[in-house]
Amino acid sequence: MADEVMVILDLSEDAQTLLEQQDVNLYEELQQEMPVLRVENRPDPDAPAGSRGDPVTVILAVSTLIGSLTPLIIRIFNQFTPPNRSRQWVVEETETRRPDGTTTIYRKHIRSSDEQRPWASLLSRVGFLSCDRLRSRRNPIG
């Protein structure tokens, strides 16, 4: 298919743990919901030039279906999250197009909202320090 794109799911440790604990194959669940999806193992397209790269599981789909994958992934994770755990699942996307325009690669990073992203954690610490310093300058008594 000329209009076919690749989707690579990048599961956080928390997401991977949930799938393992609940004995869920995310790719099978996605194919059950959307039978037109094809799943293959391929070398990582983002591997450095000249290296073979580790094989990754790739979902091949018509580009018009890509938008419906994110809500479906979130629904599957919510369905298998135990009721005693409050988790909100987040899917962050990046899109890469080849210079010649032939292949589009979507990476979907799946994580729970309570997982800290290292860069967000660093920014929030810096932000708190700045706020504390501002408060101490405004109110020297405490």
- Domain positions in the chain are 4-115
Q: State the DSSP string of the chain.
A: -TTEEEEEEEE-HHHHHHHHHTT--HHHHHHHH-TT-EEEEEE-TTSPTTS---EEEEEEEEGGGHHHHHHHHHHHHHHHS-TTS---EEEEEEEEE-TTS--EEEEEEEEETTSPPHHHHHHHHHHHHHHHHHHHHH-TT-
pTM, two decimal places = 0.71
Query: pLDDT of 82-141, one tens digit each?
Result: 887 777 899 999 888 878 876 788 899 999 886 545 544 444 444 444 444 444 444 445
Q: What is the pLDDT of residue 135?
A: 45
* pLDDT value of position 55: 82
Q: What is the pLDDT of residues 24-64, one digit of tens each?
A: 999 999 999 999 999 998 877 776 666 666 788 899 988 88
